[in-house]
Amino acid sequence: MEQPNAASATEAIESTVESSNSNSNHELSLEQRFQIIRSIGEECIQDEELRNLLAKKPEPVCYDGFEPSGRMHIAQGVMKTINVNKLISSGCRVKIWIADWFAKLNNKMGGDLKKIETVGRYLIEIWKAVGMDLEGGKVEFLWSSKEINSRADEYWPLVLDIAQKNNLKRIIRCSQIMGRSETEELTAAQIFYPCMQCADIFFLKADICQLGMDQRKVNVLAREYCDDIKRKNKPIILSHHMLPGLQEGQEKMSKSDPLSSIFMEDEEAEVNLKIKKAFCPPKVVGKNPCLEYVKYLILPWFNEFKVERGAANGGDKTFKNFEELAADYESGELHPADLKSALSKSLNKILEV
Protein backbone atom coordinates (compact mmCIF):
# COMPACT_ATOMS: atom_id res chain seq x y z
CA MET A 1 0.00 0.00 0.00
CA GLU A 2 1.17 3.54 -0.64
CA GLN A 3 2.04 5.62 2.40
CA PRO A 4 -0.62 8.32 1.71
CA ASN A 5 -3.34 5.74 2.39
CA ALA A 6 -1.84 4.84 5.76
CA ALA A 7 -1.57 8.55 6.51
CA SER A 8 -5.24 8.99 5.67
CA ALA A 9 -6.12 6.34 8.23
CA THR A 10 -4.02 8.06 10.88
CA GLU A 11 -5.63 11.44 10.14
CA ALA A 12 -9.07 9.89 10.43
CA ILE A 13 -8.17 8.39 13.78
CA GLU A 14 -6.72 11.62 15.14
CA SER A 15 -9.86 13.57 14.22
CA THR A 16 -12.09 11.19 16.17
CA VAL A 17 -11.64 13.27 19.29
CA GLU A 18 -12.35 16.97 19.14
CA SER A 19 -9.35 19.25 19.88
CA SER A 20 -6.89 16.37 19.62
CA ASN A 21 -3.99 17.43 17.39
CA SER A 22 -1.74 14.48 18.21
CA ASN A 23 -2.23 10.77 18.78
CA SER A 24 0.29 10.76 21.63
CA ASN A 25 -1.16 9.34 24.84
CA HIS A 26 0.63 12.04 26.88
CA GLU A 27 -1.27 14.81 25.07
CA LEU A 28 -4.73 13.27 25.44
CA SER A 29 -7.01 13.67 28.41
CA LEU A 30 -8.61 10.65 30.04
CA GLU A 31 -11.94 11.55 28.44
CA GLN A 32 -10.34 11.88 25.00
CA ARG A 33 -8.71 8.47 25.38
CA PHE A 34 -12.04 7.01 26.47
CA GLN A 35 -13.90 8.51 23.51
CA ILE A 36 -11.37 7.20 20.96
CA ILE A 37 -11.41 3.69 22.41
CA ARG A 38 -15.18 3.70 22.90
CA SER A 39 -15.73 4.73 19.27
CA ILE A 40 -14.47 1.29 18.24
CA GLY A 41 -17.24 -0.62 19.95
CA GLU A 42 -20.83 -1.13 18.89
CA GLU A 43 -21.15 -2.34 22.48
CA CYS A 44 -18.99 -1.93 25.56
CA ILE A 45 -19.31 -3.99 28.75
CA GLN A 46 -18.93 -1.80 30.77
CA ASP A 47 -18.30 1.92 30.02
CA GLU A 48 -17.57 2.86 33.62
CA GLU A 49 -15.11 -0.02 33.98
CA LEU A 50 -13.31 1.25 30.87
CA ARG A 51 -13.04 4.76 32.32
CA ASN A 52 -11.70 3.39 35.60
CA LEU A 53 -9.17 1.22 33.77
CA LEU A 54 -7.84 4.18 31.79
CA ALA A 55 -7.57 6.25 34.97
CA LYS A 56 -5.57 3.57 36.79
CA LYS A 57 -3.48 1.95 34.05
CA PRO A 58 -1.40 4.00 31.59
CA GLU A 59 -1.03 1.11 29.10
CA PRO A 60 -4.01 -1.26 29.17
CA VAL A 61 -3.56 -4.55 27.33
CA CYS A 62 -6.03 -5.18 24.51
CA TYR A 63 -6.56 -8.66 23.10
CA ASP A 64 -7.58 -9.38 19.53
CA GLY A 65 -7.22 -12.61 17.61
CA PHE A 66 -7.89 -14.38 14.36
CA GLU A 67 -7.92 -17.80 12.78
CA PRO A 68 -5.64 -17.94 9.73
CA SER A 69 -8.29 -19.43 7.50
CA GLY A 70 -7.96 -18.02 4.00
CA ARG A 71 -8.25 -14.73 2.14
CA MET A 72 -8.58 -11.46 4.05
CA HIS A 73 -11.71 -9.43 3.41
CA ILE A 74 -11.67 -5.66 3.66
CA ALA A 75 -13.32 -5.49 7.09
CA GLN A 76 -10.60 -7.68 8.58
CA GLY A 77 -7.91 -5.70 6.78
CA VAL A 78 -9.05 -2.09 7.01
CA MET A 79 -11.38 -2.04 10.03
CA LYS A 80 -8.89 -3.94 12.17
CA THR A 81 -6.11 -1.55 11.14
CA ILE A 82 -8.22 1.49 12.02
CA ASN A 83 -9.23 -0.04 15.37
CA VAL A 84 -5.72 -1.12 16.34
CA ASN A 85 -4.33 2.31 15.47
CA LYS A 86 -7.01 3.96 17.59
CA LEU A 87 -6.05 1.78 20.55
CA ILE A 88 -2.35 2.58 20.10
CA SER A 89 -3.09 6.31 19.81
CA SER A 90 -4.91 6.08 23.15
CA GLY A 91 -2.00 4.50 24.99
CA CYS A 92 -2.97 0.84 24.80
CA ARG A 93 -0.83 -2.18 24.00
CA VAL A 94 -2.37 -4.67 21.58
CA LYS A 95 -1.76 -8.42 21.60
CA ILE A 96 -2.96 -10.03 18.38
CA TRP A 97 -3.40 -13.76 18.92
CA ILE A 98 -2.63 -15.77 15.78
CA ALA A 99 -4.89 -18.69 16.59
CA ASP A 100 -3.18 -21.40 14.56
CA TRP A 101 -4.11 -24.24 16.90
CA PHE A 102 -7.66 -22.95 16.96
CA ALA A 103 -7.81 -22.97 13.16
CA LYS A 104 -6.70 -26.61 13.30
CA LEU A 105 -9.40 -27.44 15.88
CA ASN A 106 -11.95 -25.78 13.60
CA ASN A 107 -10.62 -27.73 10.58
CA LYS A 108 -9.54 -24.64 8.65
CA MET A 109 -7.15 -25.19 5.73
CA GLY A 110 -7.92 -28.90 6.10
CA GLY A 111 -6.36 -28.83 9.57
CA ASP A 112 -2.87 -28.51 8.00
CA LEU A 113 -0.74 -26.44 10.40
CA LYS A 114 1.86 -25.60 7.74
CA LYS A 115 -0.82 -24.10 5.49
CA ILE A 116 -2.35 -22.32 8.48
CA GLU A 117 1.03 -20.76 9.34
CA THR A 118 1.50 -19.60 5.74
CA VAL A 119 -1.90 -17.91 5.79
CA GLY A 120 -1.10 -16.29 9.15
CA ARG A 121 2.11 -14.76 7.79
CA TYR A 122 0.27 -13.54 4.70
CA LEU A 123 -2.34 -11.74 6.84
CA ILE A 124 0.35 -10.03 8.93
CA GLU A 125 2.02 -8.71 5.78
CA ILE A 126 -1.28 -7.22 4.60
CA TRP A 127 -1.72 -5.36 7.90
CA LYS A 128 1.80 -3.99 7.57
CA ALA A 129 1.04 -2.82 4.04
CA VAL A 130 -2.30 -1.23 4.89
CA GLY A 131 -0.75 0.94 7.61
CA MET A 132 -1.16 -0.77 10.97
CA ASP A 133 1.05 1.09 13.45
CA LEU A 134 3.76 -1.47 14.21
CA GLU A 135 6.71 0.90 14.50
CA GLY A 136 6.44 1.74 18.19
CA GLY A 137 6.44 -1.83 19.48
CA LYS A 138 2.94 -1.49 20.96
CA VAL A 139 1.52 -4.31 18.81
CA GLU A 140 2.55 -7.95 19.36
CA PHE A 141 1.68 -10.83 17.08
CA LEU A 142 1.65 -13.99 19.18
CA TRP A 143 1.31 -17.51 17.73
CA SER A 144 -0.98 -19.56 19.96
CA SER A 145 0.93 -22.82 19.41
CA LYS A 146 4.28 -21.33 20.47
CA GLU A 147 2.91 -19.35 23.43
CA ILE A 148 0.86 -22.26 24.79
CA ASN A 149 3.76 -24.70 24.45
CA SER A 150 6.16 -22.35 26.22
CA ARG A 151 3.82 -21.88 29.20
CA ALA A 152 1.83 -25.11 29.12
CA ASP A 153 1.91 -25.47 32.91
CA GLU A 154 0.05 -22.16 33.17
CA TYR A 155 -2.32 -22.54 30.23
CA TRP A 156 -3.82 -26.01 30.51
CA PRO A 157 -4.80 -25.88 34.22
CA LEU A 158 -6.65 -22.65 33.37
CA VAL A 159 -8.47 -24.29 30.44
CA LEU A 160 -9.43 -27.27 32.58
CA ASP A 161 -10.72 -25.05 35.38
CA ILE A 162 -12.93 -23.11 32.95
CA ALA A 163 -14.20 -26.42 31.54
CA GLN A 164 -14.98 -27.74 35.03
CA LYS A 165 -16.90 -24.62 36.01
CA ASN A 166 -19.24 -24.72 32.99
CA ASN A 167 -21.72 -27.29 31.74
CA LEU A 168 -21.83 -28.54 28.17
CA LYS A 169 -24.94 -26.54 27.29
CA ARG A 170 -23.23 -23.28 28.31
CA ILE A 171 -20.15 -24.06 26.22
CA ILE A 172 -22.18 -25.03 23.14
CA ARG A 173 -23.93 -21.67 23.35
CA CYS A 174 -20.53 -20.15 22.49
CA SER A 175 -20.21 -22.10 19.23
CA GLN A 176 -21.03 -18.91 17.28
CA ILE A 177 -17.42 -17.80 17.85
CA MET A 178 -16.26 -20.53 15.44
CA GLY A 179 -18.81 -19.62 12.78
CA ARG A 180 -20.95 -22.58 13.90
CA SER A 181 -24.52 -22.76 15.16
CA GLU A 182 -25.76 -24.35 18.37
CA THR A 183 -27.68 -26.92 16.32
CA GLU A 184 -24.66 -28.19 14.37
CA GLU A 185 -23.03 -31.47 15.27
CA LEU A 186 -19.73 -30.38 16.77
CA THR A 187 -16.57 -32.42 17.14
CA ALA A 188 -15.11 -32.84 20.61
CA ALA A 189 -12.31 -30.46 19.54
CA GLN A 190 -14.85 -27.77 18.64
CA ILE A 191 -16.56 -28.15 22.00
CA PHE A 192 -13.20 -27.60 23.71
CA TYR A 193 -12.51 -24.50 21.61
CA PRO A 194 -14.57 -21.98 23.70
CA CYS A 195 -12.85 -23.10 26.92
CA MET A 196 -9.49 -22.41 25.29
CA GLN A 197 -10.52 -19.03 23.87
CA CYS A 198 -11.86 -18.01 27.26
CA ALA A 199 -8.55 -19.04 28.82
CA ASP A 200 -6.64 -16.94 26.25
CA ILE A 201 -8.04 -13.75 27.77
CA PHE A 202 -6.48 -14.49 31.16
CA PHE A 203 -3.38 -16.14 29.72
CA LEU A 204 -2.60 -12.95 27.78
CA LYS A 205 -3.44 -10.81 30.82
CA ALA A 206 -5.90 -8.81 28.72
CA ASP A 207 -7.70 -5.82 30.21
CA ILE A 208 -9.86 -5.32 27.11
CA CYS A 209 -11.27 -7.92 24.69
CA GLN A 210 -11.44 -6.06 21.38
CA LEU A 211 -13.24 -8.47 19.06
CA GLY A 212 -16.31 -8.55 16.82
CA MET A 213 -19.89 -8.87 18.02
CA ASP A 214 -19.77 -12.51 16.89
CA GLN A 215 -17.27 -13.19 19.70
CA ARG A 216 -19.42 -11.63 22.42
CA LYS A 217 -20.64 -14.87 23.99
CA VAL A 218 -17.21 -16.22 24.89
CA ASN A 219 -16.14 -12.82 26.22
CA VAL A 220 -19.19 -12.83 28.49
CA LEU A 221 -18.17 -16.36 29.54
CA ALA A 222 -14.86 -14.88 30.69
CA ARG A 223 -16.64 -12.30 32.84
CA GLU A 224 -18.83 -15.05 34.32
CA TYR A 225 -15.70 -17.05 35.09
CA CYS A 226 -14.42 -14.06 37.08
CA ASP A 227 -17.52 -14.38 39.25
CA ASP A 228 -16.77 -18.09 39.73
CA ILE A 229 -13.21 -17.47 40.89
CA LYS A 230 -14.12 -14.29 42.84
CA ARG A 231 -11.94 -12.10 40.63
CA LYS A 232 -12.84 -8.42 40.96
CA ASN A 233 -11.25 -7.02 37.79
CA LYS A 234 -13.17 -8.43 34.84
CA PRO A 235 -12.05 -8.09 31.22
CA ILE A 236 -13.86 -5.24 29.48
CA ILE A 237 -15.68 -6.30 26.33
CA LEU A 238 -15.38 -3.91 23.40
CA SER A 239 -17.30 -5.49 20.51
CA HIS A 240 -17.00 -3.91 17.09
CA HIS A 241 -19.68 -3.92 14.38
CA MET A 242 -19.79 -6.83 11.92
CA LEU A 243 -20.06 -5.71 8.30
CA PRO A 244 -22.78 -7.61 6.41
CA GLY A 245 -22.32 -9.43 3.12
CA LEU A 246 -22.95 -7.44 -0.04
CA GLN A 247 -25.90 -9.56 -1.12
CA GLU A 248 -29.45 -9.28 0.24
CA GLY A 249 -30.01 -11.02 3.57
CA GLN A 250 -26.31 -11.74 4.29
CA GLU A 251 -25.76 -10.75 7.91
CA LYS A 252 -22.07 -11.65 7.64
CA MET A 253 -19.53 -11.75 4.85
CA SER A 254 -19.05 -15.21 3.40
CA LYS A 255 -15.72 -16.34 1.98
CA SER A 256 -17.53 -19.10 0.08
CA ASP A 257 -19.57 -16.52 -1.89
CA PRO A 258 -17.22 -14.44 -4.09
CA LEU A 259 -19.81 -11.65 -4.40
CA SER A 260 -20.30 -11.41 -0.64
CA SER A 261 -17.32 -9.24 0.20
CA ILE A 262 -14.39 -7.22 -1.06
CA PHE A 263 -11.02 -8.91 -0.50
CA MET A 264 -7.78 -7.07 0.13
CA GLU A 265 -6.18 -8.36 -3.07
CA ASP A 266 -9.20 -7.70 -5.33
CA GLU A 267 -8.43 -5.89 -8.57
CA GLU A 268 -10.25 -2.68 -9.52
CA ALA A 269 -12.55 -4.48 -11.97
CA GLU A 270 -13.53 -7.04 -9.31
CA VAL A 271 -14.38 -4.30 -6.83
CA ASN A 272 -16.47 -2.47 -9.41
CA LEU A 273 -18.38 -5.63 -10.34
CA LYS A 274 -19.08 -6.63 -6.74
CA ILE A 275 -20.35 -3.18 -5.78
CA LYS A 276 -22.42 -2.97 -8.98
CA LYS A 277 -24.15 -6.26 -8.05
CA ALA A 278 -24.47 -5.36 -4.35
CA PHE A 279 -27.85 -5.05 -2.64
CA CYS A 280 -28.67 -1.34 -2.37
CA PRO A 281 -32.43 -0.62 -2.33
CA PRO A 282 -33.38 3.01 -3.13
CA LYS A 283 -34.26 5.23 -0.16
CA VAL A 284 -33.62 2.38 2.32
CA VAL A 285 -30.88 3.06 4.87
CA GLY A 286 -31.32 0.11 7.22
CA LYS A 287 -29.59 -3.17 6.31
CA ASN A 288 -28.05 -1.54 3.25
CA PRO A 289 -24.55 -3.01 2.86
CA CYS A 290 -23.31 -0.24 0.57
CA LEU A 291 -24.15 2.40 3.16
CA GLU A 292 -22.53 0.28 5.88
CA TYR A 293 -19.32 0.14 3.86
CA VAL A 294 -19.33 3.94 3.71
CA LYS A 295 -20.08 4.29 7.42
CA TYR A 296 -17.53 1.80 8.77
CA LEU A 297 -14.77 1.91 6.13
CA ILE A 298 -14.80 4.99 3.90
CA LEU A 299 -15.70 7.75 6.38
CA PRO A 300 -13.24 6.56 9.10
CA TRP A 301 -10.49 6.16 6.48
CA PHE A 302 -10.87 9.40 4.48
CA ASN A 303 -12.88 11.54 6.92
CA GLU A 304 -15.27 12.22 4.03
CA PHE A 305 -17.16 10.56 1.21
CA LYS A 306 -17.02 12.18 -2.23
CA VAL A 307 -19.82 11.65 -4.73
CA GLU A 308 -19.18 12.79 -8.29
CA ARG A 309 -22.22 13.22 -10.54
CA GLY A 310 -23.53 15.43 -13.31
CA ALA A 311 -25.23 18.75 -12.67
CA ALA A 312 -28.58 17.28 -13.73
CA ASN A 313 -28.29 14.75 -10.90
CA GLY A 314 -27.42 17.29 -8.23
CA GLY A 315 -23.72 17.87 -8.95
CA ASP A 316 -20.73 16.77 -6.92
CA LYS A 317 -21.14 16.54 -3.17
CA THR A 318 -18.83 15.70 -0.28
CA PHE A 319 -20.34 14.17 2.85
CA LYS A 320 -18.50 14.73 6.12
CA ASN A 321 -20.66 12.49 8.30
CA PHE A 322 -22.98 9.52 7.93
CA GLU A 323 -26.10 11.32 9.16
CA GLU A 324 -25.95 13.76 6.24
CA LEU A 325 -25.38 10.91 3.78
CA ALA A 326 -28.23 8.83 5.21
CA ALA A 327 -30.63 11.79 5.00
CA ASP A 328 -29.83 12.40 1.34
CA TYR A 329 -30.15 8.73 0.49
CA GLU A 330 -33.44 8.27 2.35
CA SER A 331 -34.96 11.32 0.66
CA GLY A 332 -33.94 10.06 -2.78
CA GLU A 333 -31.54 12.95 -3.44
CA LEU A 334 -28.71 10.43 -3.65
CA HIS A 335 -29.37 7.66 -6.16
CA PRO A 336 -28.05 4.09 -5.59
CA ALA A 337 -26.05 4.25 -8.86
CA ASP A 338 -24.21 7.40 -7.74
CA LEU A 339 -23.62 5.93 -4.28
CA LYS A 340 -22.20 2.72 -5.78
CA SER A 341 -19.95 4.56 -8.22
CA ALA A 342 -18.47 6.70 -5.44
CA LEU A 343 -18.11 3.72 -3.12
CA SER A 344 -16.21 1.73 -5.76
CA LYS A 345 -13.80 4.63 -6.34
CA SER A 346 -13.14 5.04 -2.61
CA LEU A 347 -12.59 1.32 -2.06
CA ASN A 348 -10.16 1.13 -4.97
CA LYS A 349 -8.20 4.09 -3.57
CA ILE A 350 -7.73 2.16 -0.32
CA LEU A 351 -6.73 -1.04 -2.09
CA GLU A 352 -4.48 0.38 -4.81
CA VAL A 353 -0.77 -0.39 -4.55
DSSP assignments along 120-183, one per residue: HHHHHHHHHHHT---TTS-EEEEEHHHHHHHTHHHHHHHHHHHHHTS-HHHHHTTGGGGT--TT
Sign of CA dihedral 144, 148, 154, 160: positive
Beta bridge partners of 97: 65, 142
- Reported as type and span, the H/E element at residue 202 is helix 188-203
Which are the contacts of 70, defined by CB distance < 8 A and separation ≥ 6?
108, 109, 119, 255
**Three-state SS letters, 208-253:** EEEEEHHHHHHHHHHHHHHHHCCCCCCCEEEEECCCCCCCCCCCCC
Per DSSP bridges, beta strands 305-307 and 317-319 are antiparallel
Angle in degrees, 0-180, between the axes of helices 80-89 and 30-38, rounded to the nearest 10: 170
Residues of the chain with CATH 1.10.240.10: 268-352
Which are the contacts of 157, defined by CB distance < 8 A and separation ≥ 6?
none
Sign of CA dihedral 179, 260, 292, 61: positive
Omega before 46 cis (within 30°)? yes
Terminal Cα-to-Cα distance of the chain (whole angstroms) = 5
Residues of the chain with CATH 3.40.50.620: 30-240
Which are the contacts of 80, defined by CB distance < 8 A and separation ≥ 6?
64, 127, 132
Residue 176's pLDDT is: 65
On the CB side of 185, how many CA atoms lie within 13 Å of its CA? Answer: 0
Asked if residue 9 lies in contact with residue 81, where contact means CB atoms within 8 angstroms, the answer is yes
CA-wise closest residue to 288 among 316, 326, 337: 326
Angle in degrees, 0-180, between the axes of helices 30-38 and 47-56, rounded to the nearest 10: 130
pTM: predicted TM-score of the whole model, two decimal places: 0.85
List C-alpha distances in Å: 305 to 242, 262, 281, 339, 344: 21, 18, 19, 10, 11
**Three-state SS letters, 109-121:** HHHCHHHHHHHHH
Distance CA 89, CA 92 (A): 7
Beta bridge partners of 211: 239
Per-residue pLDDT of the chain (353 residues; tens, 9 = 90+): 333 344 444 444 444 433 333 344 458 899 999 999 999 999 999 999 999 999 999 999 999 999 998 889 999 999 999 999 999 999 999 999 999 999 998 888 988 999 999 999 999 999 999 999 998 899 999 999 999 999 999 999 999 999 999 999 898 888 766 666 656 777 787 788 899 999 999 999 999 999 999 899 999 999 999 999 999 999 999 999 999 999 998 888 877 788 899 999 999 999 999 999 999 999 999 999 999 999 999 999 999 999 999 888 889 999 999 999 999 999 999 999 999 999 999 999 999 85
Under DSSP, the state recorded for 263 is B
Asked if residue 142 lies in contact with residue 194, where contact means CB atoms within 8 angstroms, the answer is no
Residue 180's pLDDT is: 61
Distance CA 329, CA 318 (A): 13
Classify 268-352 by CATH class: mainly alpha
Asked if residue 94 lies in contact with residue 140, where contact means CB atoms within 8 angstroms, the answer is yes
Which CATH code is given to the segment(s) 30-240? 3.40.50.620
Residue 188's pLDDT is: 81
Residue 179's pLDDT is: 63
